[in-house]
Amino acid sequence: MSQSERMSSVELRSTLSLASIYGLRMLGMFLILPIFAIYAETLPTGHDHFYIGLALGAYGLTQALFQLPFGMASDRLGRKNMIYIGLLIFAIGSFVAASADDIHMIIIGRAIQGAGAVSAAVTALVADLTREEHRTKAMAMIGGSIGITFALSLILGPTLNQWIGVPGIFILTGVLALLAILDVKYLVPDPQVSRFHSDTQAAPARLGTVLQNTQLLRLNFGIFALHASHMAMFVVVPFALKQTSGLNEGDHWMIYLPIMLVSMIMMVPAIIIGEKKARLKQVFILSVAVMLASEVAFGLMISSFWGIVAALTVFFIAFNVLEAIMPSTISKQAPAAAKGTAIGVFNTAQSLGIFVGGVSGGWLSSQYGYAAVFIFCGILMLLWLVSVMTMQAPAAVRSRMYHLPDGYAGDTAQLSRQLAALPGVRESVVLPTEGMVILKVDMQASWDDSAALQLIRG
């Protein structure tokens, strides 16, 4: 592998540092999921599951409201400045939740946590600090940090609860957020040039195009439904596990650990088949059908310990597969020049799903019992299954990005046509203001970078 094909030490350090910040923030969100509902019931008014669900989902609402504005503000006020502000807000929310003596203050703290929505600013900074040809790799590393963080949270949350309790977990996440500020300041380099990046950032002018794309709308509904079901589940499953297993909530890691290991092993062949064999639609349909089956299983077997374990295992196999393949599907379906906008809308739909799932799960549980929660989730999955069955099969393409020569003065329209004529190219976009070329290349074709580079370099 030549030096140009490797990430530089600066790129690698920047990506790993920013991925760790992304992961630490998500860890603060996820750590309380497996134990919060049981803790909240001990608080004044916490016996009302509606408030438990609202506390779990509150950060999703404020995150949905602030993540796109944070990213756009980073263009004007600076990437690092917005990340500092977001991490500080998140830390304040953590400390508010830690000091709360009733469920209402925890709801406020969780809402403040969500308002520190740094994800868009972090990805924009990653784009500033990495060359175009390594951008996809850098974003994949960040995506991997989120998946690892979620799996760890289900195991670490119950263990930490035994040692420091839920207030201690909130304090820990607040301290980690403050340490992350030092990470950004001293370990992450300042970008030499900071500019808008179509592949990672949302552009208001392209929102209309994205929101009118029915294939992207299907994916947005899917991520909404997936995370609504996920959050609603954690309103009731911790109670059901405690009642049926006899284990204290601090020991629930012993249940989640084997479930997560099995689900992560099982997801690998599904991803390989979907991505490498160009069978994404089939994997989608099967995974959503499995999700639907898990919701039915929850509803029928919520009073049986082994029934819950089986349903959780099936749920997380499908959940992990869908979490892994949906971002890449967005990239395949979105117009090349609007990829960042499509991802921004997608992430906003995910956050709204967290909020709606928490609130709906809490209210349904308090009014109609556990089974109603899984009926609600099952309906979401059924609607998603219909949506997936009618979607177009995602094109078997991969994105290739190239840097335009500095001061490029050629005919960009002609260059785009020439690149589009290369064998295997499905879409070609030249963005002179960003100094970038984006190609969507057929994965089944034998691709030769040298031909594209020769045209770009003139």
Summarised one tens digit per residue, pLDDT across range 327-347 is: 889 989 999 889 999 999 999
What average pLDDT does range 404-418 have in this prediction? 88
Contact criterion met (CB below 8 Å) for 161 and 35: yes
CATH number attached to the domain at 397-456: 3.30.70.100
Reported as type and span, the H/E element at residue 95 is helix 79-99
CATH number attached to the domain at 7-389: 1.20.1250.20
Q: What is the pLDDT of residue 449?
A: 83
Q: What angle do CA 400, 25, 284 make, to 5 degrees?
A: 50
What average pLDDT does range 103-124 have in this prediction? 94
Domain with CATH 3.30.70.100 in the chain: 397-456
Helix count and strand count (H, E) for the chain:
16, 3
- Is the pLDDT at 3 greater than 60, yes or no? no
Residues 6 or more apart whose CB falls under 8 angstroms from that of 219 comprise 326, 329, 330, 333, 346
Pairing state of beta strands 425-431 and 397-403?
unpaired
β-pair partners for 402:
437
- Cβ count within 10 A of residue 264: 16
- Is the pLDDT at 268 greater than 70, yes or no? yes
Q: 3-class SS at 302?
A: coil
User: What tokens does 363 get?
Assistant: 């209210």
Q: What is the pLDDT of residue 1?
A: 35
Q: What is the pLDDT of residue 24?
A: 79
**Gap between the Cα atoms of 404 and 65, Å rounded:** 35
**Gap between the Cα atoms of 420 and 428, Å rounded:** 5
Domain with CATH 1.20.1250.20 in the chain: 7-389
What average pLDDT does range 144-148 have in this prediction? 83
User: What tokens does 236 get?
Assistant: 């009731």
Reference 289, options 384, 391, 218; nearest CA is 384
What average pLDDT does range 221-230 have in this prediction? 97
Predicted TM-score (pTM) of the model is 0.93
Could you tell me the pLDDT band of residue 2, with boundaries at 50, 70 and 90? very low
- Is the pLDDT at 59 greater than 80, yes or no? yes
Residue 164's Cα: distance from chain center in Å?
Answer: 28
